[in-house]
Amino acid sequence: MSGLGGLNKSPHGLVIGLVQLQLPDVGTPEQLQAQTRRVCQLVGKARRQSPVMDLVVFPEYCLHGLSMSTDPAIMCDRNGPEMEAFQQACREHDIWGCFSIMEHNPGGNPYNTGVIIDNTGEVRLFYRKLHPWVPVEPWEPGNLGIPVCDGPNGSRLSLAICHDGMFPEVARECAYKGANIMLRTAGYTSPIRHAWKITNQANAFCNLMVTANVCLAGSDGTFNSMGEGMVVNFDGQPIVEGNGFADEIITAEVRPDLVDEARIHWGVENNIYQLGHRGYVAVKGGATDCPYTFMQDMVRGQYHLPWDDDVKVVDGRDFGFPSPDREYQPEQ
């Protein structure tokens, strides 16, 4: 299915490159500029490595590393120079790209933001991480929902950033909105390796959706990220699995058309359809109610676990962040 990593591209294939980017150590505007140049250079490497590559994917924290710094001097803007550099790199090398920035937020903590840019330099998807990896990360919870965009060669793309992929509801929302490929970018370190692999596979199988997933790699002198680029087919089977080598680009060809075909023709294990059509053999069209208490309570703003009041870690103080007193106000 992988076409030897895209060396034998089929007419309906999409070749994806996952960059196991060397974990950077960035603390100053000058270092941010240098890392931006480095990422753009690797866009060129991806194109030279694979003349038929359609999409190159960089990990979360590709510019900022794992310091969790919220210093305004190294935060990025939606139309800032870092974004302009990514857009120019995609134009120059005629390739789609997925990138990560920590985005300045005048109303609170910065956002952890991911973008997809097409081969003409147009921003096609702009996403703010819904589920920061608490209590470690200080980022503002995302407020843009889960966008989906049309991609190359019949693909429809979505993006989940790191911890987002641990929530089956995020992957389900990506597929529900039509994505046939979910990108997952991360900065995870090795203790998460097993959870990384099984969730990448479950997200694919449970939604009949390809998942393409990549972490930072190497060490910044403090942390070691794990690399582990991984493309999983819609049946949950890995197509290609990477390693821990920094700056290696893992490639695979996927077939969005076969994802679309399976979603239409599968009966057994077409779970994303069957979720909203329970027991259609017994009742016409299946049951279309919502029997799940947690869904109903969340819509009402009343999500409350049986052990909710006993949870001990409810802020970031253990990781040096002050306990917040500002309540979340979703945009109307």
Which of 60, 103, 173, 253 is an active site residue? Answer: 60
Position 2 scores a pLDDT of 67
Q: pLDDT value at position 3?
A: 73
197 is known as an active-site residue: no
User: pLDDT at position 39, please?
Assistant: 98
Q: Is 261 among the residues known to form the active site? A: no
* Active-site choice (62, 129, 149, 173): 129
Write out pLDDT tens, residues 221-257: 999 999 999 999 999 999 999 999 999 999 999 999 9
The answer to whether 149 is a known catalytic residue is no
pLDDT tens, position by position, 77-113: 999 999 999 999 999 999 999 999 999 999 999 999 9
SS3 of residue 173 by DSSP: helix
Environment class of 190 (CB within 10 Å of its CB; exposed 0-12, middle 13-18, buried 19+) = middle
CATH architecture of the domain with range 3-274: 4-Layer Sandwich (3.60)
CB-count burial class (<10 Å; 0-12, 13-18, 19+) for 286: middle
- Catalytic residue, chosen from 40, 98, 149, 162, is 162
For 30-43, letters b (16+ CB in 10 Å) and e give: ebbbebbeebbebb
Whether the pTM exceeds 0.75: the reply is yes
C-beta atoms surrounding 138 within 10 Å: 20
pLDDT below 50 — which residues of the chain? none
Return the pLDDT at 104. 98
> CA-to-CA distance for 187 and 178, rounded, in angstroms?
26
Q: 3-state DSSP call for residue 238? A: strand
pLDDT value for 7: 85
